[in-house]
Copies of this chain bind each other. A is one copy, B any other.
Amino acid sequence: MKNKRPKIVFMALLFGMLVSTIIPTFAADPLPSWNDTDTKNAIVEFVEKVTEEGSPDFVPPAERIATFDNDGTLWGEQPTYFQLAFAIDRVKEIAPEHPEWKTKEPFASLLKGNMKGLAATGQKGILELVVASHAGMSSEAFGKIAEDWITTAKHPKSGKLYTEMVYQPMLELLDYLRANGFKTYIVSGGGIEFMRPWTERVYGIPPEQVVGSSIKTKYEVKEGHPVLTRLPEMDFIDDKAGKPVGINSHIGRRPILAGGNSDGDFQMLEYTTSGEGPRLGLIVHHTDADREFAYDRDSHIGKLDKGLDEAGKRGWVLIDMKKDWKQIYPWSGN
C-alpha cells in the first residue's frame, strides 16, 4: 500500500496539469454562436497565428486593426437600411413645421406612404431626404435625435429595437478580437454621427473608432455657445473606393482584418488583404431566408456580386449565415 502514494500523487499532478492546460481551451470557446465549420476555424487560426509571440505571422498589438462594415455585417439592413427608416420617421415628425412638403417631392410621396413614388425621386430625392432629416441642427442636437430614435423605434418585421437586430456571432467576434489585442473599428456607408451615439453601448466600439459618411459641419458661436452646425452638403461618402480613403484618413494604418457583406465593401477587403503579412477578409453572405433574409447578386440593398465571384481566388472567407451561425440575434436562441 505504501508504494501507491507516489503514484497517486503523480497521477493527481498529471491530472491537474491536464485540467489546467486542456480543459480551459474547451471551456472558453469565445465564439459559441458559431458552428464548428471551416469558417470558424479560419477565424480562430488567423487570430492565433497573429497573436503568437515568436511566430513569423506575429503582429504587434498596435497593428492589429480590424474594420467592419455595419449595415448587413454587424446589424441587419432589410427590408430597408435602418438609417433610411430613421430619415423617414424624422421627416414625418417634423412635417407639421413644413406644410410645403405636402406637395413637394420626395416628401409628398413619403408622407403618403408611397414608397414607390419616393424611390422614383432617385438619388436627388434621397439626398433631399437626408438633408431634411440630418442637417440644420448642431452635432450634439443631432446625436440626441439619433439616440432618441434608436432607443424607441422598432424593426417592422421583428418588432425589436433596431439595436437588437445585431448579429450575435459578430458581437462575439468583436469581443474575441478585442480580447486578443485588436482595435475594432466600424467603417460604414452609414452616417458617422448617426452611429456614434450608440456604437459603444451596442458593439463596444467607441465614437473615435467609427468611420462613416458625413455631411459638412461648420464651427460657430451661437448666442455665446460654440456649436458645430450640420450643413446641407455632403462631405464624404464612405462606400466602395471611399472606404480605404476613410480608413486612411481616420486610422492611418492598413487593417489586417476586414469584414463586410456587399460589393460596397469590396475595396476595403481588397485594400486590407493586399497588405504584407497575414491578412483576413470576411464576407457575411445572407443565405438564411428562414432565420434572417437571403439575398446577394440581385438585391438592391447589400448587393453582393463581384465579392461572390472573387472571394475564392482572393482567399476571402465567405460566412454562410445558414451553415456557420448557430444563432442569429442575441434574443433569437439557437
Contacts and interface: CB of A to CB of B under 8 A. Distances in A.
B219 A271 contact: yes
Given A192-B252, A250-B250, A252-B207, A245 B218 contact: yes
A226 B270 contact: yes
A249 interface: yes
Contact of A208 (B220, B252, B270): B252
Given A219-B271, A245-B218, A271-B226, A208 B139 contact: no
A267 interface: yes
In the assembly, how many copies of this chain are there?
2
A267 B207 CA distance: 22
B214 A249 contact: yes
A223 to B, nearest CB: 12
Most buried by B among A193, A214, A249: A249
Contacts of A206: 62
Contact of A249 (B192, B252, B267, B270): B192
Nearest to A196: B252
Given A217-B245, A251-B207, A252-B210, A226 B267 contact: yes
Contact of A219 (B192, B207, B214, B245): B245
A228 interface: yes
Interface residues of A, number: 35
A248 interface: yes
A226 B208 contact: no
Contacts of A228: 244-245, 248
A206 B208 CA distance: 13
Given A139-B248, A248-B228, A250-B250, A241 B270 contact: no
A206 B65 CA distance: 12
Interface string A80-94: 000000000000000
Contacts of A253: 207-208
Nearest to A248: B228
B208 A248 contact: no
A221 interface: yes
A196 B219 CA distance: 25
A46 B334 CA distance: 50
A207 B221 CA distance: 30
Nearest to A200: B62
A82 B155 CA distance: 54
A304 B207 CA distance: 32
A250 to B, nearest CB: 6
Contact of A241 (B192, B214, B219, B267): B219
A283 to B, nearest CB: 17
Nearest to A271: B226
A306 B225 CA distance: 18
Nearest to A220: B241
B250 A226 contact: no
9 pairs of A and B residues whose beta carbons are closest in the complex = A207-B252, A219-B241, A219-B244, A196-B252, A208-B251, A226-B271, A226-B274, A228-B248, A226-B270
12 contacts: A62-B206, A192-B249, A207-B253, A208-B208, A208-B252, A217-B249, A218-B245, A219-B245, A219-B267, A226-B270, A226-B274, A228-B248
